[in-house]
Amino acid sequence: MGKNRDIEIISNIITQAVIHKIVPDYSNKPESRDFMEKEEENYRNLSFKEMKRRNWNDEDKKKIKEEVIRKVQNKISIKYPDIIIQEEKLLERINQELFEYFR
């Protein structure tokens, strides 16, 4: 598999982990909190496993981060339109989550 394909796969998995981490804090459906937490843990473990398969340079990390930001914003606006979160706050949360992957 090529590096661009790996970046696409990893950005998709990290996006799912970030979504499942952020959405419960802003959702009006408390019953989904446990489900989201379990899913977030699964996606996080999978993404860490995938991240270890390659060495990522700063350019790769930047590309992954940009992809994750774009995908999270799109997914929240399309799949979770009931969730209202300011753009700055969303970016802050995404960056907090991504810090775990790139430290």
Tens of pLDDT, residues 30-88: 667 788 888 888 998 898 888 888 888 999 989 998 999 999 989 988 988 888 888 88
Count, residues in the chain: 103
When pLDDT is cut at 50, 70 and 90, the band that residue 12 belongs to is: very high
Residue 92 has pLDDT above 90, yes or no: no
Cβ 59 vs Cβ 76: under 8 Å: no
Q: What is the 3-state secondary structure (H, E, C) of the chain?
A: CCHHHHHHHHHHHHHHHHHHHHHHHHCCCHHHHHHHHHHHHHHHHHHHHHHCCCCCCHHHHHHHHHHHHHHHHHHHHHHCCCCCCCHHHHHHHHHHHHHHHHC
User: What does the pLDDT read at residue 52?
Assistant: 85
User: What does the pLDDT read at residue 101?
Assistant: 73
